Structure 1
Amino acid sequence: MANSGYFDENSDVSAILFDLDNTLIQTRKGDTKACNKLVELLQNEYGLPKDMAVESGSTFLRAFRARPDDESYALHEWPAHLWRNCLPKNYKHIAKSVSTEWLRLRFRYLALTNDVIHLLETLREDYLLGLITNGPSRAQWQKIERLGLRKYFDCVLVSGDLPWEKPDQHIFHEACKLLNVEPRNCIMVGDKLETDIKGGKEAELAATVWIPLQKDEEISDLPDITIDNVTELPEVLPNSPKLKRSTNMSDDC
Structure 2
Amino acid sequence: MNYKAIFFDLDHTLWDYQKNASEALEELYKQFDLYRLGGFSSSAFIERFTTVNYGLWDQFNHGLIDKDKLREERFHKILHHFKVLDKPLSLKISDAYLKLCPTKTNLFPYTHDVLSYLQSKYQLYILTNGFNDVQQIKINSSNLTSYFKGVITSDSIGYKKPNKEIFDHALEVAGIANYEGLMVGDNLNADIRGARNADIASIYFNPERNRHKEKQLTEISCLSELMNIL
1:232 is matched with which residue?
225
Give 1 or 2: higher helix fraction: 2
- Displacement of 1:136 after TM fit? 3.6
Compared CA separation, residues 35 and 155, structure 1 to 2 (3 A): same
Equivalent-residue separation in structure 2 for 1:144 and 1:15 (angstroms):
19
- After superposition, the C-alpha distances for 1:61-85 in whole angstroms (9 at most, x for unaligned) are 555552698559xxxxx68x947x8
1:6 is matched with which residue?
none
1:8 is matched with which residue?
none
Higher RCO, 1 or 2 (CA under 8 Å, sep at least 6)? 1
C-alpha contact (below 8 Å) 2:25/2:97 kept by paired residues: no
1:12 is matched with which residue?
2
> Greater Rg, structure 1 or structure 2?
1
Matched, 1:21 2:21: no
Equivalent-residue separation in structure 2 for 1:29 and 1:132 (angstroms):
21
C-alpha contact (below 8 Å) 1:133/1:157 kept by paired residues: yes
1:150 is matched with which residue?
145
Structure 2 unaligned residues grouped into runs of 5+: 61-65
Percentage of identical aligned residues: 24
Equivalent-residue separation in structure 1 for 2:43 and 2:13 (angstroms):
28
Q: TM-score, normalized by length of structure 2? A: 0.72
Q: TM-score, normalized by length of structure 1? A: 0.67
Q: Where does structure 1 differ by over 6 angstroms across 4 or more consecutive aligned residues?
A: 92-95
Compared CA separation, residues 143 and 221, structure 1 to 2 (3 A): same
Whichever residue aligns with residue 26 of structure 1, its letter is: D
Whichever residue aligns with residue 6 of structure 2, its letter is: I
- After superposition, the C-alpha distances for 1:142-191 in whole angstroms (9 at most, x for unaligned) are 43344443322112110122132212222222222221222111111111
C-alpha contact (below 8 Å) 1:190/1:197 kept by paired residues: yes
Equivalent-residue separation in structure 1 for 2:131 and 2:27 (angstroms):
26
- After superposition, the C-alpha distances for 1:87-122 in whole angstroms (9 at most, x for unaligned) are 9479x7798589647844x34544435721121122
Matched, 1:31 2:21: yes
User: C-alpha root-mean-square deviation of aligned residues, in Å?
Assistant: 3.9
1:51 counterpart SS class = coil
Equivalent-residue separation in structure 2 for 1:131 and 1:115 (angstroms):
17
Which moves more between the two structures, 30-39 or 61-70?
Answer: 61-70
Whichever residue aligns with residue 224 of structure 2, its letter is: T
Whichever residue aligns with residue 10 of structure 2, its letter is: L
Structure 1 unaligned residues grouped into runs of 5+: 1-10, 73-77, 238-253
